[in-house]
Amino acid sequence: MNTKIHLSVIIPSYNEGKRLLKTLKSIAKYLRTQTYTWEILVVSDGSKDNTAEVANSLKPEIENLRVIDNKENHGKGYVVKQGMLEAKGAYRVFTDADNSTAISHVELMWPEFEKGNDIVIGSRDIKGAKLAVPQPWIRRRVGDIFNLMVQVLCGLWGIWDTQCGFKGMTEKATQEIFPKCLVERFAFDPEILVIAKKAGYKIKEVPVTWVNDEASTVGFKSTIKMAKDLLKIRGNMIKGLYEK
């Protein structure tokens, strides 16, 4: 019998062999307590470690786990797009492999979807958000500058945290937005929201409790590359590449 999946959880992963086991077990433990149907998709972005092997080793334990093992590295945006479009859920959430935002935050999304919102994104910068382990001061300031650039260049006024790696959307929104995505690396988040706004989808932020991971690979160089991608997004907007 083909049962419709209610929630798909997509985990983009690059060299996450050391952290993925704990994250997958935590997510699966939560989802098993829910009454709806679900699946987990791990998408390895050409990892050079044992990311795919770790994920595959849990298939006997996690019955609804799927693994996509890309042999080449393309970027987080590429594998998020791949996972979101490959997923089968009526609702689809992507979250980071370091589990910085617990999957239980999806409970904040359901009321917003019921209100008619098409895209619900986690935010570390709105009322109610908590930083359990804050980022270093300098990294926070760089993030603030980047978010200001996002609002100015991409027209995403009022959304102060486009980079939180916890975002959910409906199947319909997924199928319209992601085929138009062109950015394959870290600045894909603003691009998703730009396309969503142009398509008339409703976006809602919800506060999350976020734990900074000191082992994060997103550094100053990545921020510079993201800034360059923002200019590309702005150019794509001017060229009308995100229009229907």
pLDDT 10s digits, 5-38? 999 999 999 999 999 999 999 999 999 999 999 9
The predicted model gives 135-147 an average pLDDT of: 70
Domain 7-239, CATH among 3.40.50.2300, 3.10.20.90, 3.20.20.70, 3.90.550.10: 3.90.550.10
Per residue in 225-235, pLDDT (tens digit) is 888 999 999 99
Strands 38-45 and 119-123: unpaired
Sequence-ordered list of residues with C-beta below 8 angstroms from that of 179, at least 6 positions apart, any chain: 85
pLDDT at 49: 96
Q: Is residue 2 over pLDDT 80?
A: no
pLDDT at 225: 85
The predicted model gives 147-164 an average pLDDT of: 89
pLDDT at 1: 40
90/152 Cα distance (integer angstroms): 33
pLDDT at 103: 98
Domain definitions of the chain by residue range:
7-239
Average pLDDT over the chain reads: 92
Share of the chain above pLDDT 90, in %: 77
pLDDT at 175: 98
Higher-confidence position of 160 and 184: 184
pLDDT at 186: 80
Q: Is residue 139 over pLDDT 70?
A: no
Per residue in 62-118, pLDDT (tens digit) is 999 999 999 999 999 999 999 999 999 999 999 999 999 999 999 999 999 999 999
pLDDT at 216: 54
The predicted model gives 150-176 an average pLDDT of: 93
CB atoms within 10 A of CB 203: 20
